[in-house]
Structures are given as C-alpha cells and as structure tokens.
Structure 1
Amino acid sequence: MQDTILAISGKPGLYRLISQGRGMLIVETVGADKKRLPAGARDRVTSLNDVSMYTNEDDKPLMEIFQSIADKENGQPTSIDYKKASKQELADFMASVLPDYDRDRVHDSDIKKLIQWYNILVNGGYTKFVDESEATAETAEVAE
C-alpha cells in the first residue's frame, strides 16, 4: 500500500495524505467523495501503518490483519455487520482472522473499528494491504 492512510481523532472515516504544508497536512477522504481538508497541528493524526493489535505473543501490524481479512473475504467488504453484531459474532470473526489475538486487551469496540476501517478501505478501492516483497522478507526472517 503506497499511500499513507491516516485516522484523525474526532473525525469520522479514514484519510489519504496528499501533501504536507507548513504546520499542517492536506488530506483527502478515502471514499467516493474525495473531499480534501487540512489537518492542523492540534489534530491527533495516526498513520494506520503505525497501528497494531495485541496478540498473545507480539503485536500484529494492522495492515497484516487487513490483508488476512481481505484473503478471508476475497477482497470484498466483510459479511458481518459490525453495528448489529453480537459480542460472540465479533469474537468469532476476530478469531477467524487473527486466531491468537489477546481476548483481554482487544475490546469489542476495537474489533468494530477494525471492520469499519477495512470496509472503508475496500470501498475506496484498496485491495492489497501488504506488499509481496515485505511479506516475503518477513517470512524469510522467521524461517532463519
């Protein structure tokens, strides 16, 4: 995923970084409307490349989890409706995508946000979340 995808605290949805200005970022919504807006120094901006989820071993990068969901759902939006899903449905979905996730530290709201962000990205045209070269390099490191 070449684009830098951002989450801005207090603003719904996800944003793609367009450019950097003096003391602010110019971002564009990920979706059909492609609305551009500034994100100032006071906005809490987080790159999805820097986000990870708790597992029983090490933390797992969010992009790898998105790729697991994409593989499970064949690159389509999720079949589960995060707004109406029960706690058990959310736990089952998460276990099918990331079997060793930490059930004590990953809350239902985290799983809902994960599903919401994944659906936004897929509807925005993103289907590859992990570069093949990165995945191959990580597999080689684990094998050694």
Structure 2
Amino acid sequence: MQETILAISGKAGLFKLVGRGNNTLIVETIDETHRRTTAGARDRVTSLADVTMYTEADDVPLMQVFQNICDALKGEPTTFGYKTATEAELTKFMDEVALPAWDRDRVRVSDIRKLVQWYNLLVQAGYKDFFTAEEEVAEEAAEKSAE
C-alpha cells in the first residue's frame, strides 16, 4: 500500500499512483471524488513510504506512526480536527498515541498537523493496515546488510 500513496507539493491531499505516462505520473485523489490528474517532472512527488519522523533515537517510518495511531484509535479518525487543535492537544496526541519518543526539537507543530490530516484522509478512504510485521523484518534485514 505505502509505495503507491503520494504527496505532491503544491497540491492538497494525498494521491494514489494509478499509472505512468510520458514523463508524468497518473494519480488519483484519496477522497470521495477520486479525481484523476497528472504529476509532471516539475512537481515534487514524495512517496509516503520514504517519509520518516524524527525520534530521540533512530527515525521511524511514517507508516509505522500511522499504524501506531490506527492501533490506538482502533482504526477510527482522530477526535479533533487538525486545523483547530491547539499545540497542547497535538503534543499530547504525539506523546500518548502516535510516537512517544518523538524529537521535540526537530518535529514542528505543522508536521504534527500534517500527520493528523494525512492519517484522517487515509482512514476515511478505508486504509487500515499501514505497517506489517513482514515489512519490519524486511527493513531490519536491509539495515543489517547495509552495515
């Protein structure tokens, strides 16, 4: 799942990769509209599989953070809106639900808002399995072979 979910700089929301064209990606919005559009060579496209969050030790894949939230909230969206949440609510959410060991110096409030926004988008679109045990084993094997 995570390889096909994309964030495109300058475009709101998340996108699912549905195809490739000449120097473009064909993407579909992850919302109720399922509107298709293209992302060209000038667009900054990031796969959510490549995104990590800073912690006090090693960085943690964003999909693992989404899985932590999904497990804690039993697959439901957050009870607060990412736009209206206070800084205290967001830090409490990170401490108690998402990632207790997050790096308070490098993770900004805007990053937490984006995390909540993306999580809610994905859950409302029906995504529940963000990170599996097999992916964790594969990551650990890749790290050991890189050493």
Partner of 1:63 in structure 2? 63
Partner of 2:20 in structure 1? 20
Supply the AA of the counterpart residue of 1:132.
Answer: A
In structure 2, C-alpha distance between the alignment counterparts of 1:12 and 1:140, rounded to whole Å:
35
Identity of aligned residues (%): 56
Query: Is the 8 Å Cα contact of residues 3 and 47 (structure 2) preserved in structure 1?
Result: no
Alignment of 1:15-54 (within 5 A): 15-54=15-54
- Structure 1 residue 76 and structure 2 residue 76: aligned? yes
Partner of 2:145 in structure 1? none
In structure 1, C-alpha distance between the alignment counterparts of 2:140 and 2:75, rounded to whole Å:
22
Q: Deviations over 1:74-121 (max 9, x none)?
A: 001111222111111110001112111000110000000000000000
How far the C-alpha of 1:133 sits from its partner, in A, is 1.8
Scaled by the length of structure 1, what TM-score is found?
A: 0.91
Scaled by the length of structure 2, what TM-score is found?
A: 0.90
In structure 1, C-alpha distance between the alignment counterparts of 2:74 and 2:39, rounded to whole Å:
33
How far the C-alpha of 1:2 sits from its partner, in A, is 5.9
Contiguous gaps of at least 5 residues in structure 2: 143-147
Q: 4+ residue stretches of structure 1 with deviation over 3 A?
A: 135-141
Aligned length: 142
CA shift in 2, pair 1:3/1:31, >3 Å: farther
Contiguous gaps of at least 5 residues in structure 1: none
